Amino acid sequence: MAGPRSRQSRAGQAVLVFAALAAVQGAFLAAFAGRPSRSLPLTFAFPRLLPWFLGVRASRGGVVTGRVLLVVAVLAALPAFVASVVSIVTR
């Protein structure tokens, strides 16, 4: 019969394995998306949109907008992440 101590260590291991899996998945996605982006440039798909996009991305407003969208995405995902970690740790 497993005691409370072993349940906590298994929960900690589960959190660590999940974090490692997330890191590996992110690296795989970056490598997977990087290859087509080098072989098929953006000008092929959207030739008229590229100068506008590069200008917006480099402008101060584009940087601020990107950061705001990133914060919104993190805040949207945070409750589910915290609930998942709490669920794993309290088992």
Total structural domains in the chain? 1
Query: Could you read off the pLDDT of 44-74 as tens digits, one per residue?
Result: 666 777 777 778 778 888 889 889 999 999 9
Give the highest mean pLDDT range of 30-34, 37-41, 58-62: 58-62
Contacts 24+ apart (CB under 8 A), 18-25: 18/88
Mean pLDDT of the chain, nearest integer = 81
Residues near 50 by beta carbon (within 8 Å), at least 6 away in sequence: 42, 43
Quote the CA–CA distance of 42 and 39 in Å, as a whole number.
10
pTM above 0.85, yes or no: no
Return d(Cα 21, Cα 52) in angstroms, integer: 37
- Its domain, for residue 32, covers 4-89
3 state DSSP class of 82? helix
